[in-house]
Amino acid sequence: MKKLLIATHNQDKLKELTKEIKKLTKNKLKIYNLNDLGIKIAPEETGKTFEENAKIKAKFYGDLTGMLTLADDGGLIIPYLKNEPGVKSRRWPGYEADDQELIDFTLAQLRELKKNQRCAFLQTCVCLYNPLTKKFFCRQEKIKGYIAEKSSGKPTQGYPFRSLFVVDGLNKYYDSLTKKEHQNINHRLKAIKKLNPLQLIN
């Protein structure tokens, strides 16, 4: 059985991806994560796009372990602000900000703007890397919405933008979605389905 490394320390993301990949591959891959292998080091994410950063992470861990490796990168895109924060994410204000600082900073950038100027996307890029062939397989997906004028008041730790992002079609804050609603719009899972890890085990 071939091995696949999911390169994340985020336990919620790990559970989500593991479940979906097992379903897609019909359990034909033995799945590992960074904690299983005792890996604590991380590459410097110097990419200018989500895809570049996803490739950096996938290649770093794939070459380190010799295993098929899946990594992802994503964040918030606000077209009116020239697609910021994009890959800046935590460092958007110019320093390593905490969740509340990012919420406050985002609202300040869009203060008094109309709804059509507050359009935004939650975007992700999922990348599979084969260290034997040195080939990458990447897919991107996004969720459309807009930035509200105030926070939902119940931010998800580590995901501050979810408390500001209202999902198109549902008119609900991202962090207020039911489990079923989240499953239906989950951009990371949609990217995984398009990617189809089976293409790397043949």
**Any idea what the CATH number is for the domain that residue 24 is in?**
3.90.950.10
Active site residue 73: yes
Tell me whether strands 84-85 and 68-78 are parallel, antiparallel or unpaired: antiparallel
What is the total count of domains within the chain?
1
Candidates 12, 36, 63, 73; catalytic one: 73
Whether 145 maps to a domain, the answer reads: yes
Task: Give residue 182's domain range.
Answer: 2-196
Sign (positive or negative) of CA dihedral 8, 12, 17, 22? positive
Whether 100 maps to a domain, the answer reads: yes
pTM exceeds 0.85 for this model:
yes
Whether 65 maps to a domain, the answer reads: yes
The answer for residues whose C-beta is within 8 angstroms of residue 130's C-beta and 6 or more apart is 62, 68, 200
Whether 202 maps to a domain, the answer reads: no
Per-residue tens of pLDDT for the chain, all 202 residues: 789 999 998 888 899 899 989 888 888 889 999 999 999 999 999 999 999 999 999 999 999 999 999 999 999 999 999 999 999 988 999 999 999 999 999 999 999 899 999 999 999 999 999 999 999 999 999 999 999 999 998 888 888 999 999 999 999 999 999 999 999 999 999 999 988 765 555 5
Whether 201 maps to a domain, the answer reads: no
